Amino acid sequence: MSQPRPVVRLRPKAEARAIRHGFPWVYADELVVDRRTKTMAPGTIATLEDADRRPLATVTVNPNSKIIARVMSRDAEVEIDRAWIAQKLTRALEMRARLFEAPFYRLIHAEADGLPGVIIDRFGDAAVIQPNAAWSEMMIEDLEAALAEVTGVSTIIKNGSGRARTLEGLAEETVVLRGSLDTPVEVPMNGAIYMADLLGGQKTGLFYDQRPNHAFAARLANDARVLDVFSHVGGFALAALAGGAQSAISVDASAPALDLAARGAQAMGAGGHFSTRQGDAFDQLDALGQEGARFDLVICDPPAFAPAKPALQAGLRAYERIARMAAPLVEEGGYLVLCSCSHAADLAQFRAACTRGIGKAGRSAQLIHTGYAGADHPMLPQLAESGYLKSLFFRLD
């Protein structure tokens, strides 16, 4: 290596075995945080040692974050450079190329793909990078160059927004790093066409994680009246129309997102079967109940109500409320799909909240399917947070 790099050390009572077994994070109370460590620039690459000064891993350090060190490699001497990033991208691309016929997918899913804190979604000839850890902000030029080299994309956007960056002490910034982009990108998925706003939309512009759950819902949608609540750019609604739905209504608070959903429906030739309702989802569910509306398939895919443990109980109450308000809108023998992307609410807790809500609505249910994120969102087995998405499919009596 060109020069000695800093060393950080675990406290005597910290669990070095977890790192050896693949856990990717070191919390601030597990590390010896002396004056030298506190003055490290966020994103510094360092060698992690155990309490006995034995090398454990190569890490990136951010003194401003509760996750003070993220494991880059269990090789304590590896050099983190553009070539190393390109190697990770190549490995990730090989798997996606096997799974998907067209280049529309999540290419990098943070720790699970070996690039801690980094999200990269691909949209054909364009890609969006979310550098949510300090090291990736420092090495954004290397990330951009390696991404272009490995994938051949001509347009690369940095989306520097969201809660994860705030927790890392990083500023918000969205900018085109390479190429140009003027209009929403058409994304073919599950027979539907989605319009993704890569510059001004939520997250990277589209949620690829629900792809297999969209497909399962589409199998229930033939000749059905469909209600898609928290629809974003048409998520479940457009997939249902591709599956032969009689009609689909998208509900969302964002007028721009609903406009993109309508444009997607038009692009797939289903505009005459699609409509929108803009406003607060709870208010819209209440209004639909007052109107006596009924649907054969109702989907509720809200944002994370419990993004962290302090919000868990309030989040579970919100999931229960959604189920209680949505269940009466489902025809007898129809289907209710309830989703959670909350890290803090595990599957058992989420399922219990949904079941309580359905029961309080006076309905009985069969749970016919439990869905998760697609294979382009791999889970790191040692990190429960990487398996965040749960989708429950109920049939109601």
Structure tokens at 114: 């070996």
**Is 341 in the active site?**
yes
Give the amino acid at 108. Answer: I
**Coil vs helix vs strand at 128:** strand
Beta carbons of 357 and 322 less than 8 angstroms apart: yes
Beta carbons of 284 and 219 less than 8 angstroms apart: no
Beta carbons of 293 and 329 less than 8 angstroms apart: yes
**Coil vs helix vs strand at 129:** strand
Residues 6+ apart with CB under 8 A from 194: 186, 187, 188, 206, 233, 234, 238, 260, 264
Alpha helix (H) residue ranges in the chain: 16-20, 35-38, 82-99, 134-138, 140-151, 163-167, 211-219, 235-242, 255-267, 281-291, 312-326, 347-360
Beta carbons of 90 and 119 less than 8 angstroms apart: no
**H-run or E-run covering 375:** none
Q: Parallel, antiparallel, or unpaired: how do β-strands 126-131 and 155-160 relate?
A: parallel
Determine which one of 300, 339, 341, 354 is catalytic.
341
**How far is residue 58's CA from residue 51's CA, in Å, rounded to a whole number?**
15
- C-alpha angle 51/53/57, rounded to 5°? 90
Beta carbons of 36 and 90 less than 8 angstroms apart: no
**How far is residue 80's CA from residue 77's CA, in Å, rounded to a whole number?**
9
Catalytic residues: 341
